[in-house]
Amino acid sequence: MIAAITAVASVKNGAIFHPEFFLSKLVLVLYLLGTFAVVCSWGHALEALRIRDCTVLPRNRETTEYLIDVDEETAERHIYQCYSDTLEKLKFEIDEKSRKLNLAYEDIVFSAWCLGLAAVVFIFMEMTK
């Protein structure tokens, strides 16, 4: 996408940045929308990749000693509760990351459409000159 943005911008020494007619203004608007969408997509993707404080299973000495000291049934119940509590909390965090990745994908698709339309209109303008 970055290559497409650069290619569209550099055609005829940046002709799209000097619109004279309606179609050339349309190309500029489509180009700017596409570029903005790429930036938004990048931001959403980076936000999804960001690692924050995550919920983790208890992993300290106290928990280990507790599991050794109690009977087998109590230990199994404690482990089950730890896993279910942790997974319940992680579900929200995973859903949030998935939402941001979905936004990044939608942004990149929107950008591709805008840049593709800008290229088609620009080619049409060049062919009709």
Q: What is the pLDDT of residues 96-128, one digit of tens each?
A: 999 999 999 999 999 999 988 988 988 888 888
CB 58 within 8 A of CB 89: no
Per-residue pLDDT of 55-104, as tens digits, reads: 677 777 887 788 888 888 888 888 888 888 788 888 888 899 999 999 99
Give the model's pLDDT for residue 1: 63
| Average pLDDT for 41-55 | 85
Cα Dmax for the chain: 86
The C-alpha atoms of residue 54 and residue 82 are separated, in whole angstroms, by 14
- Which has the closest alpha carbon to 122: 33, 26, 32? 26
The C-alpha atoms of residue 41 and residue 108 are separated, in whole angstroms, by 6
pTM given for the model: 0.70
Give the model's pLDDT for residue 40: 95
Read off the tokens for 46. Answer: 């980076």
Give the model's pLDDT for residue 38: 92
